[in-house]
Amino acid sequence: MIANVVAVMAPMLNMVQSVPQLLHTWREQTLDGLSIHSIGLMMLVAILWLMHGYYINDYSLMISSLVIFMVNLCIVGMYIMYRGKSKN
pLDDT, position 69: 92
Per residue in 13-30, pLDDT tens? 877 888 888 888 888 887
Q: How far is CA 36 from CA 47, 66, 75, 81, in A?
A: 17, 19, 9, 13
Q: What is the pLDDT of residue 1?
A: 73
Side chain identity, residue 52: H
Q: According to the model, what pLDDT value does residue 18 have?
A: 80
Side chain identity at 61, as an amino acid letter?
Answer: L
pLDDT digits (tens, 9 = 90+) for 31-49: 777 788 888 898 999 999 8
Q: What average pLDDT does the segment 53-67 reach?
A: 88
